[in-house]
Amino acid sequence: MVMAFRGEVLSVGALLDAALDAPTTVPNPNLGVRHTAAQNAADCDKLIRDGEALDACWRFGILQTLDDYTSALRRGGPSLAAEVFSDEPPRIGSSEVDAAFAALADYLSERDGWQLPAWVLDPSRRTTAWYPAVPAIFRDEADQESPDAFRRRGILITSRSLARA
C-alpha cells in the first residue's frame, strides 16, 4: 500500500515563523529526575551479562546518562541535574564502565558548578587507556583532547565523544 502525502509543504521561512509563534513551554523542575546513573549502570550490567561489548555500555549507559542529565538540567538547572548522580552506580565488573560513570559526573560537576558526590572520588574507579567508541584512526586525537575528568581515570575520548544531537 502506498500512501500519498496530503499535507502542506512549508518554506523554511514559514517554518521559522511558525516556531516563533508557538507558545513557550516552561520546564517543570517538580517532575524530578526520571533516570539516574545508578539505573543506567544496572542496565549496563545486564548488557554485559548478555554478552554485549563495552561500547554498548558507553552508548546505552554513559551517553544515556548524559542525555538524562541534560534533560534534568534544562528542566530544573544544575541542582536538579546533579541528582542524576546522587546514588552511586553499582559496580558492573568492568573497570572501564565503572570509571566512566565517575568521569562523567566529575566532568559535569566541574562544568556546571555542583558538588561531587563522595563515590566519584573513589580511587578504584579508574582504568587503563580505554577508548570508548573511538575508532583507531582518532586515538591520537583522543589522547590530546580527552577532558581531564576522563583522562585522570584512564578514559580517552575526542572532543566529539560527548556531543549530542
pLDDT digits (tens, 9 = 90+) for 7-63: 788 788 877 887 787 766 555 656 788 899 999 999 999 999 999 999 999 999 999
- How far does CA 155 lie from the centroid of its chain? 14
pLDDT at 120 over 90: yes
Count of domains observed in the chain: 1
Residues spanned by the domain of 38: 33-151
pLDDT at 100: 98
> For residue 130, is it within any domain?
yes
pLDDT at 23: 67
Length of the chain: 165
> For residue 144, is it within any domain?
yes
Q: Are residues 133 and 158 in contact, defined by beta-carbon separation less than 8 angstroms?
A: no
Considering the chain, what percentage of its residues have pLDDT values greater than 70? 93
pLDDT band at 134 (very low <50, low <70, confident <90, very high): very high
Query: Residue 43: left if φ>0, alpha if ψ -120 to 50, beta else—which one?
Result: alpha
> For residue 47, is it within any domain?
yes
Q: What is the DSSP string of 74-135?
A: HHHHHHHHHGGGSSPPPP-S-HHHHHHHHHHHHHHHHHHT-PPPGGGG-TTS--SSB-TT--
> For residue 86, is it within any domain?
yes
Which residues sit opposite 85 in a β-bridge? none
> For residue 3, is it within any domain?
no
Among candidate residues 105, 102, 164, 111, the one with its CA nearest the CA of residue 130: 102
> For residue 63, is it within any domain?
yes
Among candidate residues 86, 73, 82, 93, the one with its CA nearest the CA of residue 27: 73
Q: For the chain, how big is the Rg over CA atoms in Å? A: 19
